[in-house]
Chains A and B, each alone.
Chain A
Amino acid sequence: MSKGPVIQGDYRPVALQRVGEAKLLIQWSDGHRSEYAWRWLRENCPCATCREHRVTTTSAQQSGITTAGSGGKISLAVVHAGEVAGSPYQAVSVTPVGRYAYKIVWADGHDTGIYSFELLRQLCQCSDCRSLSAWANQGDA
């Protein structure tokens, strides 16, 4: 039997680091160094609630509805005490989920987003990834 067990992907985080209050750095096994504003990560939270919120907000903005209660198109979210007290852009912890993702616990208590390694690479805000993304967007235009 020549082949060994197969593991998906050829990159995984080897180090995580907070940079001040605002940023997270991830050093990957393939040498890439990702940086993220915490705010950016929260705004791209992949949990079902946040995805739904983004879709609703976008469609409301597109239809010109920007305030809650206008025609019943925007639902009112229930906010718990932790969300009021803590900052939604401050991470309390970043812990592995299985072998494929990270869970971020935010200061406002939100903790349902599972950030897969693939998603984290897509969200990378380092200068190389930003220019690549800008170049791709130009191509789309």
Chain B
Amino acid sequence: MSMPIHGAAPQKIVLPGVRYTLAVASGKGGVGKSTVAVNLAVALQQKGFRVGLLDADIYGPSVPMMLGLGTVDPRLAKFPLEKFGMKVMSMGFLVPPERAVIWRGPMVHKAVSQFLSDIDWGELDFLVVDLPPGTGDAQLTLTQSAPLTGAIIVTTPQDVSLIDARKGLRMFQEVRVPVLGIVENMSYFICPKCGERYEIFRHGGGQRCAQELGVPFLGAIPIDPTVAIQGDLGVPIVASHPSSQVAKVYHQLADRVIAAAQEIQTKETPLPAL
């Protein structure tokens, strides 16, 4: 028998203008989840879709830096902010980077709920939600109250990351959120001088994990120092180097995500109520 999921059910949040809401998750921190979320969002936008990006990592928001956005005065700013043609919301707009957010779970729940329901997301094809690592309050709030289309699990190839990726995936399965698939980040490195491929963190872990858990493998994203440089500069690699190998991989990932989301929505029927 599975572990009971405790906590009162939050109010259901309706996002009438949003067609697909995608959660980008990982069991473990440091696997490049925000990098994947940001670049996937930009790739979807470049394909002509209307895209929103919600940074649900309340304790460690990294989306503002990756998009070249900083803290704003909440009394003057109109949320969501706009960058690269996308609508963006993050705790990082409200709290300076040097200040820590020291909150208990209910406050995290409240912040994530407000980001979803009190922000005017307008008409969107995709709302990409960058989740914090783990299986905690932000995840539970989203799965219980937001109309999630599906989840994408990000991992790196080594076992220590895969163990936690499985946990993240199981959580979504337990709450019956469709898992669109697993993405293996930092999968390999192509030497720019000799062109040889190096599998620095081992090989094929993400694909094996996907096979073992019966979910699609969405793709392997190579290590490219430009990804990190561009992240720090505030221009994601898909926007700064659209013809790079990494950008191509992100576009393939976006194509698979679009197809999977469409497939889910075709099958979806609302649950009855009394």
Contacts and interface: CB of A to CB of B under 8 A. Distances in A.
Interface of A: 1, 3-9, 12-18, 24, 46-48, 51, 91, 93-101, 103, 111-112, 114, 116-119
Using C-beta atoms within 8 Å of the partner chain, give the interface range for chain B: 35 or more
12 contacts: A5-B178, A8-B176, A9-B176, A13-B272, A15-B272, A95-B12, A95-B274, A97-B9, A98-B177, A99-B148, A100-B143, A100-B176
B145 A98 contact: yes
Given A114-B7, A119-B4, 18 more contacts: A1-B216, A4-B216, A6-B213, A7-B178, A8-B173, A8-B174, A15-B272, A18-B274, A24-B274, A47-B6, A95-B273, A96-B273, A99-B143, A99-B176, A100-B176, A114-B9, A116-B5, A118-B2
A112 to B, nearest CB: 4
Contacts of B180: 5
Contacts of B263: 4-5
A33 to B, nearest CB: 14
A9 B273 CA distance: 20
A6 B9 contact: no
Contact of A97 (B144, B213, B269): B144
A120 to B, nearest CB: 12
Given A13-B271, A13-B272, A94-B274, A6 B178 contact: yes
Interface in B135-192: 143-145, 148, 150, 173-181
B6 A48 contact: yes
Nearest to B149: A5
A117 B175 CA distance: 10
A109 to B, nearest CB: 12
Contacts of A103: 9
Nearest to A48: B6
Contacts of B216: 1, 3-6
Nearest to A116: B5
Contacts of B69: none
B181 A5 contact: yes
B5 A16 contact: no
B144 A98 contact: yes
A24 B178 CA distance: 28
A27 to B, nearest CB: 9
B195 interface: no
A13 B269 CA distance: 10
